[in-house]
Structure 1
């Protein structure tokens, strides 16, 4: 579907024409008409599918058409991180280029003084669109800077990330201040039970638009090292030996590991910097500025603070640990091979993460190339896609991988059939039955 086939108004279409946007992505095609028809919407789509435009375009079009108060906050867009809030704000400036009467403000933590005063002024005057992180918005609410009584649109972007970061109570506090007749739009990469529960409590008869997770770009050369956890730092040192790698992002799910990886890389002379939640907002900004300006060769980062990274020249992505789900894996390695470039993705798969990595391979419908460990790191575990609690999983020879005791009423033979004693007992019963019949 082309944007001009939708009911978006001419000012929005003119901006899209200037930006050379002609065709809707699948999530935009599914969401835009439903939002324009005033339905609550659940959009299930990963990052990079065009979901920001899927809700911004119809909301801006309706606000520009009129009928909404000029002195009130008409739309609240919640973002889990400052970085995503900034991206939404940038998209807002582009899509709203011809919208003279629509005002907006981005509200997020890490800024004091003049920035906070500007936020306060915009909120009190009634900015049409407020893009905010939960904590910062609640801070303004407590200071009496915000009136949410006339909000017409409430958007939760990356709702799964918001709940993972512990914003559930904050969101519900904000929801209680909103009018009941608002239009609510929720976007999430996944739909776990906690998101379903949230959706039931804040949306009314929502239309669900689900877009299948897209596969990674074909130009990403995906590889994996099968290893034990203590061998990972040795692999990292091997990868960066000789300092030849540049423009690399190394992801880890834990900030302590990010700090340790950074220390190890600095010890061998790698020009690297770390991005994690212990840094102040000013420190995060400085790190991103250095990395974007190529003053830092390697960025070591956690998932949450790295979701705002949007750089075209990343040559390699390293997954120090296996992501929790397929969507996270696709999101991480999608930082490379952008703008029609080639890239590499390397994942370090410990013996405990083999099953999770196997699930990713099944989703991708391919076996990812396994790279032998450097000779000085010792032997690697045998790769297996079995669940971690499987008796055979991680078995390294005599003395390892003890077999579980069979559950009560079951034999250790499992699906292979009944035990010998059970079969003998059944045979005796059958013979006894035959004798009775003869009698």
Structure 2
């Protein structure tokens, strides 16, 4: 597999062969200079070459493959020309939003999300009207293929995003079946945070002549402080609580290796007064969606998650990452801690290590500049307060399909002058629902404003998420 030559830092998007429409979208998105993964991969991607890219979450890889697939779309042909496969619905929704943002200057371009966890009826109707870009999970995409609802004769680009997690989740057969039904003339792009043997084998099946690009997370090393605590007698939940009370982060993700541990720790933190939520595969899809929204908008300060469930969660600033026991492999450990210390900000990664983690720690130590110093857990403190969020999330029973926009929600909440912009946090509008974060002491008045008046001539119901 040929390797690309490294590019220098601080390269401009203006150096690329991109249309004026795409360059305008890049500028409006606030992208000033290319990230390392964009600078190294985009020249190859834009040439139409098959490419395998190893890069961590937050590296800018989504924009890289989004620009590549958009650059060669023909909006006059209303048929699937690009397919992006993702391991989870959450990541698929995030990728679809990123593609739409970069394509907004391209008239009549349609991006359709095809994922499980939602009824297929609406997706079937949308497919009948056609779409240029499909973003979905392997199971649901294959289901539509098997029922002859999708036809790939015009497909130009196939993207496998977070390919390692798709294999971890058991999607090997589905991926093979989908790839077989795509044209051999397609461009194949495979993106993965880690690169185990199974990914090497998958890349060979998808394309035997792909260019390989590896973007190491070297830039993170100087901005992330790693601390290792030893615990054996203390329970997982009690150890996590001690760390949170000691460091008092603005927000934190706690990674667990099992769904059972994830839920147990979240329940314990919640009962202790922390604004905490669980995120794992045993939850209903709506509960997972709500947890992602609440953590992203600051209505929850602690998210207790499994590695797979946390894929698709994009938090620009994260103070603390806690690993309850070492991750299953070193690449996953690196991926976990890489969620903090982004964009040059300092981050902290704490690993709670038990006796069973000794071998993994020795392997990790071989990759570090200095030996790991195991510390005793911090002593309990009586004056430290639980992490409580300042905001609470309200969910409205309307969204994009009701022509609802963030500005409409702001207008409804500020119409009587009692609430100001300082009382309103992040707003997220989905197809059928909208979410708005409001200051905790403003919740009752916000609910009254929404329920007792109309927004754009329509009445919407709202309720507080717990």
SS class of match (1:102): coil
Query: Residues 11-57 of structure 1: CA distance to partner in whole angstroms, max 9, x if unpaired?
Result: 21122122332332232223222222222111122222211122211
Equivalent of residue 24 in structure 1, options 29, 34, 37:
34
CA contact (8 A) 2:194 2:332 kept: no
| Counterparts of 2:362 and 2:100, CA distance in 1 | 42
CA contact (8 A) 1:107 1:133 kept: yes
Distance apart, 1:361 and its partner CA: 3.7
| Counterparts of 2:244 and 2:69, CA distance in 1 | 47
Distance 1:241 1:180, change over 3 A: closer
Pair 1:354-2:358 in alignment: yes
Equivalent of residue 44 in structure 1, options 49, 54, 62:
54
| Structure 2: gaps spanning 5 or more residues | 1-10, 381-466
Counterparts in 2 of 1:61-80, with a 5 A limit? 61-63=71-73, 66=74, 70-80=77-87
User: Is 297-306 or 266-275 further displaced after alignment?
Assistant: 266-275
Distance apart, 1:370 and its partner CA: 3.4
Distance apart, 1:9 and its partner CA: 2.0
| Counterparts of 1:231 and 1:126, CA distance in 2 | 53
| Counterparts of 1:48 and 1:324, CA distance in 2 | 21
Distance 1:122 1:259, change over 3 A: same
Q: Which residue of 2 aligns with 1:8?
A: 18
Larger radius of gyration: 1
Equivalent of residue 296 in structure 1, options 291, 294, 300:
300
| Structure 1: gaps spanning 5 or more residues | 377-439
CA contact (8 A) 1:247 1:314 kept: yes
SS class of match (2:135): strand
| Normalised TM-score (structure 1) | 0.77
User: Is 129-138 or 244-253 further displaced after alignment?
Assistant: 244-253
| Counterparts of 2:216 and 2:302, CA distance in 1 | 32
| Counterparts of 2:61 and 2:165, CA distance in 1 | 15
Q: Which residue of 1 aligns with 2:190?
A: 186
Distance apart, 1:135 and its partner CA: 1.2
CA contact (8 A) 2:41 2:64 kept: yes
User: Is 91-100 or 310-319 further displaced after alignment?
Assistant: 310-319
| Counterparts of 1:158 and 1:72, CA distance in 2 | 25
| Counterparts of 1:341 and 1:45, CA distance in 2 | 19
| Counterparts of 2:288 and 2:106, CA distance in 1 | 32
Distance 1:83 1:162, change over 3 A: same
Q: Which residue of 1 aligns with 2:242?
A: 238
User: Is 182-191 or 352-361 further displaced after alignment?
Assistant: 352-361
Q: Which residue of 2 aligns with 1:86?
A: 93
| Counterparts of 2:248 and 2:16, CA distance in 1 | 50
* Higher strand proportion: 2
Distance 1:19 1:268, change over 3 A: closer
SS class of match (1:135): helix
Distance 1:265 1:17, change over 3 A: closer
| Counterparts of 2:255 and 2:160, CA distance in 1 | 25
Q: Which residue of 2 aligns with 1:195?
A: 199
Query: Residues 308-343 of structure 1: CA distance to partner in whole angstroms, max 9, x if unpaired?
Result: 222345332211121233432233223334466544
Q: Which residue of 2 aligns with 1:275?
A: 279
Pair 1:322-2:329 in alignment: no
Pair 1:57-2:64 in alignment: no
| Counterparts of 1:219 and 1:200, CA distance in 2 | 35
Distance 1:203 1:15, change over 3 A: same
Distance 1:293 1:58, change over 3 A: closer
| Counterparts of 1:356 and 1:157, CA distance in 2 | 27
| Counterparts of 2:276 and 2:318, CA distance in 1 | 14
| Counterparts of 2:192 and 2:247, CA distance in 1 | 39
Pair 1:107-2:133 in alignment: no
| Counterparts of 1:293 and 1:44, CA distance in 2 | 29
User: Is 100-109 or 356-365 further displaced after alignment?
Assistant: 356-365
Query: Residues 341-395 of structure 1: CA distance to partner in whole angstroms, max 9, x if unpaired?
Result: 544321111222123223334334244553323579xxxxxxxxxxxxxxxxxxx
Distance 1:292 1:375, change over 3 A: closer
Distance apart, 1:246 and its partner CA: 5.2
Distance 1:5 1:292, change over 3 A: closer
Q: Which residue of 1 aligns with 2:210?
A: 206
Distance 1:339 1:266, change over 3 A: same
SS class of match (2:367): helix
| Counterparts of 1:338 and 1:44, CA distance in 2 | 18
Q: Which residue of 2 aligns with 1:167?
A: 171
| Counterparts of 1:316 and 1:255, CA distance in 2 | 20
CA contact (8 A) 2:278 2:304 kept: yes
Distance apart, 1:242 and its partner CA: 9.1
SS class of match (1:216): helix
SS class of match (2:286): helix
| Counterparts of 2:320 and 2:181, CA distance in 1 | 45
| Counterparts of 2:69 and 2:297, CA distance in 1 | 35
